[in-house]
Amino acid sequence: MIDKHTYVNELMLELPNLFSDAKKAEQAVDIVFGLIKDKVGNELVEIAGIGEFRTEQGRVVFTPTRSLMDRISESSSH
């Protein structure tokens, strides 16, 4: 499982014009996960090439695919 900090950093790295600071990026992550939590409910939602979302104990858990993890690792190493 990837932690919130990783998502925040990736947003700032990939979209610096939109997310110039960690606070804005963190707000975006919170909004996206909030929307997913509202829509997922107790279901499992899979997005091909991205991963799966599910809820556990009232919070959204995201498990990325191996290909997404590899891409994040590549991006972080540059």
CATH of the domain at 26: 4.10.520
- Mapped onto helix, strand or coil, the DSSP state of residue 21 is coil
Q: Is the pLDDT of residue 1 over 70?
A: no
Q: What is the pLDDT of residues 4-13, one digit of tens each?
A: 888 888 888 8
42: left (phi over 0), alpha (psi -120 to 50) or beta: alpha
Of 9 and 78, the one with more pLDDT: 9
Q: What is the pLDDT of residues 25-55, one digit of tens each?
A: 999 988 887 887 787 777 788 888 888 888 8
Confidence at 2, pLDDT banded by 50, 70, 90: low
**By residue range, what is the domain housing residue 13?**
4-76
The pLDDT of residue 76 is 66
Number of folded domains that form the chain: 1
Of 39 and 68, the one with more pLDDT: 68
Best CA proximity match to 72, nearest among 19, 20, 9, 21: 9
